Amino acid sequence: MVPQALKGAYARDRQRLVAELQESGIEDLAILHAFASVPRHRFVPEAVRHRAYANVALPIGCSQTISRPGVHALHLALCRLTGEERVLEIGTGSGFQTALLALLAAEVYSIERLPQLADTARCALKELNVGNVQLATGDGSAGWPEAAPFDVILVGAAAPELPAFLCEQLSVNGRLLVPIGDGERQELVRVVRGETEFHVEPIDRARFVPLVGRHGW
């Protein structure tokens, strides 16, 4: 991807967002650089672009939203990316987090169930010359077994229970980050696959749209 680091349109707003993320506790320089490099305004509708670098969720159509930058940053930090990973993202959405992952990992596979969002994200990523991402439209709750195993699986929607089908697509020492729960109460958990068992770590409360599909709601 062509670096956009704090140049051009919205440069000051992007710089302000990066500073805000750093003040909130995001210390990973690679994550901060990714936020400085990826133009978030390219991933939201024109009507809300003036708020693209505020730390708020924004509508992106199809009754979906792009998460707050602070949420994306926290989740990326929890994934403990080194730049060598093969990552599966479930819920491409706007494609913004996909673009961040493209800078932070070796290979990114991303699935979106809504064709309109998938097409919009695909166009934005192509315009930014993102080359290490493979996109698919379909049931993300099933994962991408043909491309497994993955070092990291990042789920952008809440599953009704711990998704065993996705856990099985992790490599040894792989990490799965997924919110679990219904529309009233959700908890973000991190799962690490060991040699013989899975280790589940509760992280915090969460609020995401439901994971719709054969292995979701």
H helix runs in 28-127, sequence order: 29-37, 69-79, 96-104, 115-127
CA distance 212 to 78: 24
Q: Which amino acid is at 86?
A: R
Catalytic residue (one of 67, 94, 110, 141): 67
Question: Structure tokens of 37?
Answer: 């490099």
Residue recorded with tokens 């500073």: 19
Distances from the Cα of 78 to the Cα of 66, 99, 178, 217, angstroms: 19, 17, 11, 25
155 and 211 Cβ atoms separated by less than 8 Å: yes
Residue 37: active-site member: no
Assign residue 138 a region (left: φ > 0; alpha: ψ between -120 and 50; beta: otherwise): left
CA distance 167 to 113: 20
For the chain, count helices (H), then strands (E): 6, 9
Q: What are phi and psi of 121, to 5 degrees?
A: -65, -40
Active site residues: 67
